[in-house]
Amino acid sequence: MKKYFLYLTLIGVVVMSFSSCTIQQKVTPVAPLNAQVNFDMNDLEYIGEVSGTNEQSYVLGFIPYGGRKYHIGQAIPQGLGIALPGNRGYNNALYDALSQRPDADFVLPVSYEVTRHQQFLGNRQVLTVRCKAFKLKG
């Protein structure tokens, strides 16, 4: 009986030590700022077509893990009127597309393709984005 109690106590200590952690989060509250700039095609110079690819894994279908996690941000302007994913994999693919043309100021997403590979308790997505690259004149 003492042996089982010792094992249960040891398992409890191990579980408690793995479940203890400290999380520190810094947050800077930002007021929403909406700006609208109306460009004419005479203000833009078409550079060419670019594409970017990213591979991202997800646990339980929506929690990203692994991959690159530092190219996040609002990569898609609000109000395009089309449904585009706003996840980390999509932002990384857009970053790759923009990086192909260093002289480009922005890219306009034209289409994207997602290939999902189902795994145990998650999936892996390979996302390819096709974009048009533009540069501002002047």
Summarize pLDDT for 72-129 with one digit per residue, the tens.
444 444 444 444 455 777 888 888 888 888 888 888 888 888 888 887 888 888 888 8
Q: Can you list the domains of the chain with their CATH numbers?
A: 39-136 (3.30.110)
State residue 69's pLDDT score.
Answer: 64
In 3D space, the residue among 14, 90, 40 whose CA is nearest the CA of residue 6 turns out to be 14
DSSP per residue, the chain: -HHHHHHHHHHHHHHHHHH---------------------GGGEEEEEEEEEEEEEEEETTTEEESS--S--S--S-TT-SS----SHHHHHHHHHHHHT-TT-SEEEEEEEEEEEEEETTEEEEEEEEEEEEEEE--
Model's pTM, two decimal places?
0.59
